[in-house]
Amino acid sequence: MTLPASDPTTSPDGHAEFSASSDVATTAETEIAMPARRRRRWLSLALKIAIVIIALPLVLTPIYWVIPPVSTLMLWSGLTFQGMQRDWVSFDAIAPAMVNSVIMSEDGRFCEHAGVDWDQLNLVMGAKGGPSRGASTIPMQTVKNLYLWQSRSYIRKGLEIPLAYYADFIWSKRRMIEIYLNIAQWGPGLFGIEAASEHYFGRPARDLTTRQAALLAAALPNPITRNPAKPSRVMQGTARIIERRARQAGPYVDCL
């Protein structure tokens, strides 16, 4: 005689009841498995996002050799309906004084390094409290503006470095400066040197004076609060230093 697979008990009304132990075990296993599946789902999503973040710059950087790029700040201004003003201009349509001013104020070794100035970066990264100030080269600032976020962190700095090397390898130094000056922010919704020059001084970027170029360069570290047309005393002092350095920029810009 074959025995039943499970051992039933009889209820008062005569119906068979089977032990619920197997159902309880199955429910417990399901409850344990569900969080694990959720974790795997989130990890898979995070991995896909990371792949996109890495792949986009690899694809877009060569494309930006030939077309005007759009920065993350420009996209944000558009998505949040804040408005955006930018007029792309070529390198030859920008006053040499402007090019000299940003190089001498932001990245004096621009023509020497391959995207990263390790001497300056090591000083900053070793400072107490982490990366609290500059040392970002023009290539690092450019890739940050194009592909990354604005808040400072070791993670962002770590992403900037390989992207800066890659952009410096793909683009010429001339193209790098051209892109940098055309995507830099100079006020709320105000992007690029042509729009900034017209907005603050009522003239195209090719006609900027050395003084005006120095004031625009002095505004770059904090373009939301610094007004090149109405500079504070501190900003005027910074601009004077930049102007003096820009007049002596010869050997520092010979790669252009």
Alpha carbons 24 and 19: distance in angstroms, whole number: 10
What's the pLDDT score for residue 18? 47
Tokens of 216: 């625009």
Question: Does the pLDDT of residue 54 top 70, yes or no?
Answer: yes
Calculate mean pLDDT across residues 231-235. Answer: 97
Alpha carbons 253 and 97: distance in angstroms, whole number: 11
Q: How many other CB atoms are found less than 10 A from the CB of residue 1?
A: 2
Give every CB contact of residue 207 below 8 A, 6+ residues apart in sequence. Answer: 95, 197
pLDDT tens digits, one per residue of 105-140? 999 999 999 999 998 878 776 654 555 446 789 999
pLDDT tens digits, one per residue of 22-47? 655 565 555 556 677 888 888 888 88
- Please tell me the CATH code under which domain 46-252 is placed: 1.10.3810.10
What's the pLDDT score for residue 34? 63
Higher pLDDT, residue 232 or 2? 232
Question: Does the pLDDT of residue 12 top 60, yes or no?
Answer: no
Alpha carbons 106 and 124: distance in angstroms, whole number: 15
pLDDT tens digits, one per residue of 145-173? 999 988 877 888 888 999 999 999 999 99
Cβ-based burial of 206 (10 A; exposed 0-12, middle 13-18, buried ≥19): middle
pLDDT tens digits, one per residue of 173-217? 999 999 999 999 999 999 999 999 999 999 999 999 999 999 999
Q: Any idea where the domains of the chain sit in the sequence?
A: 46-252
Tokens of 187: 């006020």
Helix or strand run (H / E) with residue 225:
none
